[in-house]
Amino acid sequence: MPQLTWLITATTSGLGESLLNHLITRGDRVIATGRDAERRLAYLKSDSVALLDLDVTSGIAVIEAQIRKAWDIWGGIDVLMNNAGVSNPKSIEEAG
């Protein structure tokens, strides 16, 4: 199987972290993003893991700039796993 380049959002915990660890062992290249990812995941940085701070609640200009940086790391992205989410807590009555 050819090596793929993944961009995964929210890799600092949960599903994103689990997927990141799986892909590392599989031998793929991963651009791991998240809030403060460069500090929180520094121990993973290698020839196959790049770290990029990315907060999906940032403005569109900031997000676009970070995506351009991600693209330039290995010259492209094969797979996007958009794992990050934003919630707006509401009561059940308000959510309808």
pTM here is 0.87
Neighbouring residues of 22: CB distance < 8 A, sequence distance ≥ 6: none
Q: Quote the pLDDT of residue 2.
A: 82
* Model pLDDT for residues 6-53, shown as the tens digit of each residue: 999 999 999 999 999 999 999 999 999 999 999 999 999 999 999 999
- Look at the block and give the residue holding tokens 């991963």: 30
Distances (CA, A) of 82 to 9, 13, 43, 94, 96: 5, 14, 23, 27, 25
What the chain holds in terms of domains, given with CATH numbers, is: 5-84 (3.40.50.720)
Q: Quote the pLDDT of residue 40.
A: 97
pLDDT-derived band at 96, boundaries 50, 70, 90: low
